[in-house]
């Protein structure tokens, strides 16, 4: 597996919400869904190589999956991790 494929496994998809859009406009920060075992250094390297930008900071948070029921059967959505990546002044990522 080459480096490009490894970076694509780390950055799963962008998180597009109202709050994330406001963060992009105000702080030049983008939100991404990443694997639970990914660390900040790996996320920084993946963003810098995939989008060719400079990252100034990475903040991560774990999102716990919700419990769900359907009749008698109960289940749980999987846990996931969200990364907020703040870019250097002047750099942007075209997500859509």
Distance of CA 22 to the CA centre of its chain: 16
Q: Are 79 and 62 in contact (CB under 8 A)?
A: yes
pLDDT tens by residue, the chain, 96 residues = 788 888 999 999 999 999 999 999 999 999 999 999 999 999 999 999 999 999 999 999 999 999 999 999 999 999 999 999 999 999 999 886
Domain assignment present for residue 96? The answer is no
Instruction: Write the secondary structure of 49-71 as one string of H (helix), E (strand) and C (coil).
Output: HHHCCCEEEEEEEEECCCEEEEC
Total number of domains constituting the chain: 1
E-only strand ranges, 1-96: 13-14, 29-34, 55-63, 67-70, 73-76, 80-87
Question: CA nearest 33: which of 84, 74, 73?
Answer: 84
Q: Which domain holds residue 79?
A: 3-87
Domain assignment present for residue 32? The answer is yes
Q: What is the pTM of this model?
A: 0.88
State the CATH number of the domain containing residue 54.
Answer: 3.30.70.330
- Looking at residue 13, the DSSP 8-state letter turns out to be E
Domain assignment present for residue 16? The answer is yes
Domain assignment present for residue 39? The answer is yes
Match 């190589």 to its residue by tokens: 49
Domain assignment present for residue 11? The answer is yes
Domain assignment present for residue 75? The answer is yes
Domain assignment present for residue 95? The answer is no
Domain assignment present for residue 52? The answer is yes
């Amino acid at each position: 597996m080459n480096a490009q494929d490894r970076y694509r496994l780390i950055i799963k998809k962008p998180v597009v919400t109202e709050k994330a859009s406001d963060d992009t406009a105000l702080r030049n920060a983008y939100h991404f869904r990443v694997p639970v075992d990914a660390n900040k250094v790996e996320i920084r390297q993946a963003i810098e190589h995939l989008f060719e930008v400079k990252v100034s900071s990475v903040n991560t948070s774990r999102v716990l999956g919700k419990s769900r029921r359907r009749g008698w059967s109960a289940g749980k959505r999987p846990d996931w991790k969200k990364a907020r990546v703040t870019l250097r002044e002047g750099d942007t990522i075209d997500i859509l």
